[in-house]
Amino acid sequence: MVEEQLPIQEKGRRAKNESMRVKPQRLTELSLKPVSRVLSGIAELDRVLGGGIVPGSLLLLGGEPGIGKSTLLLQVCNRLVQNGGKVLYVSGEESAEQVRLRAERLGSIMPDLFVLCAVDLDDIIAAVEEIKPEFLVVDSIQTLVSSTLSSAPGSVAQVRECTAELLRLAKNNRLTVFVIGHVTKFGAIAGPKTLEHMVDAVLYFEGEPSLNYRIVRTVKNRYGPTNEIGVFEMSEAGLIEVANPSEFFLSGRRSDVSGSAVVVTLEGSRPMLVEIQALATPTPFPLPQRVATGFDLRRLALLLGILERRASINGGRRDIFLNVAGGLKLTEPAIDLGVIAALASAIRNTPLPADTVMIGEVGLAGEVRSVTRTEARLKEVARLGFKRAVVPLRSPKMNKSNLRVVPVDTIGGALKVLGVKK
């Protein structure tokens, strides 16, 4: 529990003149100015935002400390300035020299990029009024303080008040504001969920600590679709867009060998393509081994049983190994069909089609059951360039020009489609 002190306000309804009142208007009477989006110059980010930045919007970029939030936004600033924009970068965490050092490392220093090292909201508002930038970057919201409140920076009240003030600034001046927010160890942006409803778009920056790739994901967007992801690679010269992320998720995959299947799993709200590998080797011992890495061993035994009984593919006297590539742990039932396919492929020693992805839960009767958010998964499959998806029969209809969706109702049918079973 955190005590929150509200700014003192006059209570009661103020008497307003009739002329001062805001009046309701007919929607049809409003004159429309066409909204033209501004391209950030980073294609992956523009796509995540739904085709560019909407001028006058407030965007929140969240992420764990050190993931590369400042880097990404500084790169965006550079591109915006290159395209003739005027940008003010406010840093409450680093000195101007540090920002300059990073800008040099990222390879471009622009004259129209202004840097302000301040934490006081009044300083920022004054700077905006003086320079009149089109874009404002605040790094980070947790460092800002509003003088109307006495609570510490980063507290719920401060974060909320500062965001509200920035929102006012954005809407009044048609200023686009990027706000950086740190994700705390509790997994929410600090002060955080308090911010999401106020801003126009919420982007999360995620990454695998051991790998160099980073993912930007929209969880909210008032001007575009959500659940789009953009993939970047962190390098010395900053973040480099990854045009084909499947190479990263499925790096090192050999599709010409048996036992390799690609499945779609939902990581939080993000669909992700992962490779499942299976190996079946004959054993002289009476009790064959069953080994699973990143997958539940009992579920493996169950799926082997279903495969044997419902599709007549027998594990028999073989050691069976199952591995989820990339060190991930998968628990979602939607990957069952992929596991079944990988196992059947390994047992029959027949490679699966390289461009096909499998989606579906498998029941004890060998039926393929529908899974949640098939559409989001298929969207990801299509985006990553796969040509065919084997899905449960009762899935929402989905027509993508370059993705063929093959509905199946049993594992036997699925294995026939995949060419493992006659």
Ligand X SMILES: Nc1ncnc2c1ncn2[C@@H]1O[C@H](COP(=O)(O)OP(=O)(O)OP(=O)(O)O)[C@@H](O)[C@H]1O
Q: In whole angstroms, what is the distance from residue 330 CA to residue 295 CA?
A: 6
Q: In whole angstroms, what is the distance from residue 233 CA to residue 118 CA?
A: 30
Size of residue set near ligand X by CB under 6 A: 14
Q: In whole angstroms, what is the distance from residue 277 CA to residue 325 CA?
A: 7
Q: Please report whether residue 63 would count as binding ligand X according to CB under 6 A.
A: yes
* CB 231 to ligand X: min, Å: 15
107, amino acid identity: G
The CA-CA-CA angle for residues 313, 319, 325, to 5°, reads: 90
Sign of CA dihedral 180, 185, 189, 194: negative
**Measured from the CB atom, is 213 or 386 closer to ligand X?**
213
* CB 216 to ligand X: min, Å: 12
Q: Please report whether residue 107 would count as binding ligand X according to CB under 6 A.
A: no
Question: Sheet containing 404-408: which strands, arranged edge to edge?
Answer: 290-293, 318-324, 270-282, 260-267, 356-358, 388-392, 404-408
Q: Please report whether residue 29 would count as binding ligand X according to CB under 6 A.
A: no
Which one of residues 42, 44, 47, 70 is an interface residue with ligand X (CB under 6 A)?
A: 70
Q: Are residues 187 and 209 in contact, defined by beta-carbon separation less than 8 angstroms?
A: no
Q: In the stretch 74-93, what mask flags binding to ligand X with x, by CB under 6 A?
A: -------------------x
**Measured from the CB atom, is 142 or 258 closer to ligand X?**
142
68 binding partner (options ligand X, Mg ion, none; Cβ < 5 to 8 Å by kind)? ligand X
Which one of residues 18, 29, 236, 256 is an interface residue with ligand X (CB under 6 A)?
A: 236
Q: Please report whether residue 234 would count as binding ligand X according to CB under 6 A.
A: yes
CB-side neighbour CA atoms (13 Å) of 254: 5
Q: At what angle do helices 96-105 and 69-82 cross, to 10 degrees?
A: 70
Size of residue set near Mg ion by CB under 5 A: 1
Which one of residues 47, 69, 310, 377 is an interface residue with ligand X (CB under 6 A)?
A: 69
User: Which ranges of 175-239 would DSSP assign to H, the alpha helix?
Assistant: 193-196
* CB 121 to Mg ion: min, Å: 19
71 binding partner (options ligand X, Mg ion, none; Cβ < 5 to 8 Å by kind)? ligand X
Closest CA to 345 of 254, 250, 252, 247: 254
Stretch that binds Mg ion, among 70-78, 247-255, 272-280, 407-415 (CB under 5 A): 70-78
Q: Please report whether residue 66 would count as binding ligand X according to CB under 6 A.
A: yes
Which one of residues 44, 50, 61, 70 is an interface residue with Mg ion (CB under 5 A)?
A: 70
* CB 228 to ligand X: min, Å: 20
